Structures are given as structure tokens and as C-alpha cells.
Structure 1
């Protein structure tokens, strides 16, 4: 890999460890990029460490995570390409809107301020957090059954259980509470500068079978960017659920990302 290879930062979302990006990192390095997959602030270096110390990530909010990745970006020799999944997708959108990245790909990204649809499946997927107001300041784990509905509904039960055992970690409840109240606050942490004409290109990817971020949310997100002249594209995988970055079909999603980056000359 050349010393001037474009850096790509992979940003995980809730309940998946940063190491779940490992196959993507390998592929992108082979393709000529410089991949990095740092975890959220407070997340242990391994899945086991993250599970053993859930309190270390509790109470980390959207702004905390944005500033964490902004500090990492500041140490790079050039603005990176950001690829985020779920809440990681929202973080990527915020950083792109702040002109901190060359481009961003937001995969099944969490809803930003201005997005109104909240399908019932999304409410059920996040119920483990919203079941108690105290969870705003806690880290919450999913059961295998809850993971199956929220992430693994489009793969076999066996694969869903394997993914659960391999990659899941406790997640802070605070970002979900912040996103839920976003449309009631002009200064919500979930607010993204969707009208920025000077930002780099953005690709939104959605899974048509996603329970956690149903396609209605992603389509509404796309509409939020309608006043920007910057490139904003949408790609749909109709038969994929929220696990699309880590399940057996991950390569098709990764290849779509690489194709789009090539189209942007990145």
C-alpha cells in the first residue's frame, strides 16, 4: 500500500464491536486504501474487554463520539473517507457536514434531526433501551432473541446467533435518547448540516428488510439533503437486514461501496 493511500475510517454503531469491520479493512487495504477502524470512546480493544466493562461506554453521547473521531481525523495527513453503519452512519454524516471528510458512506444510518418516520419495527428494535428512562445513562446489552429481530432477521437463525456471539457488545443508551428527541430541539446532537454545498459526496445505503433502520427512515434522510448541490446517492439492498455489514453477504455491500468511491474518483 502506497504511503499516500487514502485513509478510510470505519465507524461502528451500537451493539457491534469495531473489530467486526476486519473483513472490510482487509478488502480495502488490498484495494489500495489505508483502513482504520477505531472504536467509540470507552469501548474495549476486544469484544471480551467491551463486554467485561460496560460502564466504560455508558453515558457516551453523539457529540462525544463525533469529537472522538474528529480528533482521530485531525491526526491524519488528509481528510479521510468515512464508512459508518447505523449510528456510525449518523456520525459519518455529521463529520462530513462539518467538512472533516473527503466523502462518507452511511449504511442503514440512524435517523438524523428532521427525519419523521418512526416505524413500529424501529421502536421494537430499540425497546431494550427505552424500556427504562435510567438506560439513558447506562450501557445496555441485547439478548440473542433481541439481536435476531433488530439485526439478524434477514439471515438464518443459526447465522444470527453466530453473529451475536462473535460481535455484540453493550451499547450506551444516550445516543438513542438523543435521536428520539431530536425533532424537539434545534440544537440536538442528531442535527446534521444537510444543506452544506461544499461537503464531499455522500452515499446512503439501505437494507430493504432492516427492522432497526427501515427504508422509510433512509428515504426520509435522503430528502433532508434535497437543498444541497453536493452529491448524495442512494443504493438499496432489498433483501438485507441490519446485519448487512457483518453477515455472510457483507462483500456485496463492500463492493458497492468500492464501486461508488471509484465513480467519485476517490
Structure 2
């Protein structure tokens, strides 16, 4: 049976066409588990105000809104790291200019994979999930992933976090009222497969959760860590940086955001993090 070729949604194609028509440097924003592309809306506006053009693709079959996602959570099931990387690569290949990439959480792994394929002009990996070669698995990260990993059947399911689980894994560094607002505004179900792939990446040599790190086409890379992150703690982010730092062709940098948790891209302090990434991108691409 012939597989259906990957294709953007109409909205994504509009963004691609707009980016190509603008002649500006594109920046592609890649979200992670339990969020949608709308979580990047404020970042996209900030980067566009600085002269870039933003592209915010979803994952395959992502609903158009949080409301639609809540009505049909099962649509998220069955999406692997490889599936999403292939989808993001398809979007990037339709751009006339090599984009800068910004990714959060599993999006932080995906942008590393794409950069390793020579598809990025500059990369920001924010609180990246662990990938092959990143050895630390702190207890906080295991607890945050526990709602999925505790049941092997979740590998092929879509998993919705309870508020308490979201509070621990994402929003532990903000007041409870803000955490509740973030949960209601942004949280959606997520595919179980990527968490299992990340958890076993270092014992599976064929894992999809791995990125080429030393190539001469990887581009500059910044790894950003939230100091108080439970989902992707400092040890994971810094080990990611150390692995990527083996690249002798391009600079690899590390920044830790004091007092910030995994929600640092969507909570009330998002702009501080966005400007760190904007400044980094601006040093290498215009």
C-alpha cells in the first residue's frame, strides 16, 4: 500500500507562502507534548516585530484549537518522534530560506534532530527532553513522566495530565492561580510514544530520539534550561549541551533561567526567555 505523502495543513501552507513571499528570515517554532502551536503565538509576534517571519507548525493531525483538542483527545495517539520530525522537515523543505529553529521540551529534541540534518540556520533548544547520549534521568523527571510511563499501554495512547500532574511537571515555579490558568488555556493530551522513546533512548541504538551532533552543517545552537524545571531538569539540559558541544564547526552555548520551570515559554515570564533566544538567533541570522 502506498503511503499518503506528507502535506501541510491549509493554515501551515499559508504560513509557508507568507514566509516565502516576505523575503525575510524565517523562524520555525516547534512545540512539545501537551501543547499546541498556539502556545507560540506571543513568541511569533515578538520575533516578527524584530524583523523575522514566523512559522508555527503543529504535529501531525493536531487540532486547530485547545477546545477541539479537549473534544477529541485520541487524535494525539500514535505520534512518534520520527513521525513528528518527518512532518517538521516537510514544512522546512517548503521554505525558500533555511530557517532558525526554536523548540521547547520534545520540540527541543526535534529541533536538535532537524539541525543535525542540516536544516537549521541557528537553533534554540529550550528545556529539551532527553535523547540518546543524554544519560541523566533525575528523579524529578521520572516523577513528571510517571503518569505515562507507569502504564506500558500508554505507549499507544493519548494521555491527558490532571491539574496536579501538570502543576508538578510544568507549572511548579509559578503561583497556583497562574498554574490553573495555564492548564486551562494551553494543556492538551499528548502522545505516549515519545516519552517511552526518550526513556529507553540509551538502550535502543535504533531509537528515533537521537540527533546527529558533530556535522559541519548543524549550525549554532543554544540550550536553555529552567532552573526549577521538573520535566527536563538542569542535569538533562546540561548533558544535552555537553553532547552538542562536541561540534567543532559551530558554537554551542548554554543558558539557565533562574527561578523558572517547564512552563517558561508560556507563563508570565515568557518574554524574558524569548528575548534570550531572539538575541542568540540575531547574532547568526538576520
Match of 1:198 in 2: 217
Matched, 1:233 2:253: yes
Summarize the alignment of residues 93-112 of structure 1 with structure 2, pairs less than 5 Å apart: 93-112=112-131
Match of 2:193 in 1: 174
Distance in 2, Cα, partners of 1:164 & 1:198: 38
1:205 is displaced (CA, Å) by 0.3
Structure 2: runs of 5 or more not aligned: 1-18
Query: Residues 22, 187 of structure 1: CA spacing in aligned structure 2 closer, same or farther, 3 A cutoff?
Result: same
2:117/2:217 contact within 8 Å kept: no
Summarize the alignment of residues 88-167 of structure 1 with structure 2, pairs less than 5 Å apart: 88-167=107-186
Greater shift in the superposed pair: 243-252 or 30-39: 30-39
Matched residue SS, 2:154: helix
Summarize the alignment of residues 41-120 of structure 1 with structure 2, pairs less than 5 Å apart: 41-120=60-139
2:201/2:207 contact within 8 Å kept: yes
Matched residue SS, 2:265: coil
Matched residue SS, 1:8: strand
Cα deviation per residue 1:87-139 (whole Å; 9 max; x = unaligned)?
00100000000001211110001111011111111011011101210100000
Q: Which runs of 4+ in 1 moved over 4 A?
A: none
Matched residue SS, 1:39: coil
1:198 is displaced (CA, Å) by 2.6
Which of the numbers 2, 16, 36 marks the counterpart of 1:17? 36
Q: TM-score, normalised by structure 2?
A: 0.91
Summarize the alignment of residues 235-250 of structure 1 with structure 2, pairs less than 5 Å apart: 235-250=255-270
Match of 1:254 in 2: 274
Matched residue SS, 1:42: coil
Number of residue pairs matched?
266
Distance in 1, Cα, partners of 2:281 & 2:78: 34
1:197 is displaced (CA, Å) by 2.9
Matched residue SS, 2:264: coil
Match of 2:14 in 1: none
Matched residue SS, 2:181: helix
Cα deviation per residue 1:170-213 (whole Å; 9 max; x = unaligned)?
00000000111111122210111012133211110000100000
Q: TM-score, normalised by structure 1?
A: 0.97
